[in-house]
């Protein structure tokens, strides 16, 4: 993390020289003071004692200067080590902005993520780096309210690289207590979005396979409600997905079979075991057909029970031939 002063490098050098000169002037003043003390003491005490006191004061001041310099060097070393740690362990851009939204501190990850040097972004507004949706008044007030309440906020924006490319960003904003402004952590979530999109594409692919599957397929959650029905099911019943989700799927079961179907389903659900049902279901034209249903429990990625997935096969022709 590097802090860039508003002044030019020439001004900084002048400031350093001024401080050094001032220290020498103070030191010279103390040396004269030592001589004054020596002249005063030698009137009242013997010469060796006066010389000892003068030398002691001089050595004490020299030691104090050395200790101060040593303490400054150790502090500077620790600060540099902290800068190196922050820059090396965090691939994210860490920055501090003032009350006006201007960047006053930034780590060197800005070069890797955006292509800018730290000097180039210093004293720039944050919209120099990304399109911030918080520029909308309503959204901005929401962020400020969240910062006041929770102390941080997580949002998303589109980053703007130096070469003109754009990247998706996750922005974690933390309130800087007592100083005003805020601390920002900018994270490139390109890989995360690619992974999420890949998952969505895979999910849509398998859902499309289920939609074209000749059997009637459904899926339920842990609340026993069936939330998914494939197109084959909907085409058979002639009903919409919304109608089926509202527990309306039981309405297409033959009245004489509803109790059996529901009891078998709920008993199996409580035990998280597979089940099988044989029942009649009404087709879109009002005709009832015989179906055999198989239900299987499935788990989430953590291995916890997540619900059931089932399929219904039309066996009307088989039963009619048997009769």
Reported as a single tens digit per residue, the pLDDT across 222-274 is: 888 888 999 999 999 999 988 888 767 888 999 999 999 999 998 998 888 99
User: Which residues, in sequence order, are CB contacts of 238 under 8 Å at separation 6+?
Assistant: 283, 284, 285
> How far is Cα 265 from Cα 277, in angstroms, rounded to an integer?
8
Burial class (CB in 10 A: 0-12, 13-18, 19+), 41: middle
Which range of 38-42, 142-146, 318-322 scores highest in mean pLDDT? It is 318-322
pTM of the model: 0.51
Extended beta strands in 215-304, E state: 216-220, 226-229, 275-282, 288-299
145 confidence band (pLDDT: 50, 70, 90): low
For the record, the structure tokens of 319 come out as 């039963």
Least confident of 79-83, 133-137, 254-258, 308-312: 133-137
Mean per-residue pLDDT for 153-162?
Answer: 88
């Amino acid at each position: 993390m590097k802090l860039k002063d508003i002044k030019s490098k020439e001004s900084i050098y002048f400031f350093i020289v001024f401080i050094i000169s001032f220290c020498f002037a103070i030191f010279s003043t103390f040396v004269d003071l030592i001589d004054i003390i020596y002249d005063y003491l030698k009137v009242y005490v013997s010469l060796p004692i006066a010389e000892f006191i003068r030398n002691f004061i001089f050595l004490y001041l020299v030691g104090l200067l050395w200790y101060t310099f040593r303490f400054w060097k150790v502090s500077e070393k620790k600060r540099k080590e902290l800068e190196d740690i922050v820059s090396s362990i965090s691939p994210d851009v860490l920055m501090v902005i003032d009350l006006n939204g201007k960047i006053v501190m930034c780590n060197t990850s800005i070069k890797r993520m955006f292509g800018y040097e730290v000097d180039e972004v210093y004293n720039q507004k944050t919209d120099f780096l990304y399109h911030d949706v918080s520029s909308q008044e309503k959204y901005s007030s929401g962020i400020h309210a969240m910062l006041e309440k929770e102390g941080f906020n997580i949002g998303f924006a589109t980053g703007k690289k130096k070469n003109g490319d754009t990247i998706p960003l996750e922005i974690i904003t933390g309130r800087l207590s007592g100083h005003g402004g805020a601390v920002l952590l900018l994270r490139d979530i390109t890989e995360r979005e690619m992974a999420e999109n890949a998952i969505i594409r895979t999910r849509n692919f398998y859902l499309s396979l289920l939609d074209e599957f000749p059997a009637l397929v459904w899926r339920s959650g842990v609340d026993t409600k069936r939330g998914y029905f494939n197109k084959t099911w909907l085409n058979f019943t002639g009903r919409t997905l919304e109608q089926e989700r509202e527990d309306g799927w039981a309405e297409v079961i033959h009245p004489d079979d509803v109790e059996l179907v529901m009891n078998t389903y709920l008993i199996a659900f409580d035990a998280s075991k597979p089940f099988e049902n044989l029942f009649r279901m009404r087709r879109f034209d009002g005709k009832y057909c015989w179906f055999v249903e198989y239900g299987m429990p499935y788990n989430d990625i953590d291995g916890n029970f997540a619900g059931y997935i089932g399929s219904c096969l039309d066996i009307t022709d088989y039963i009619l031939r048997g009769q």
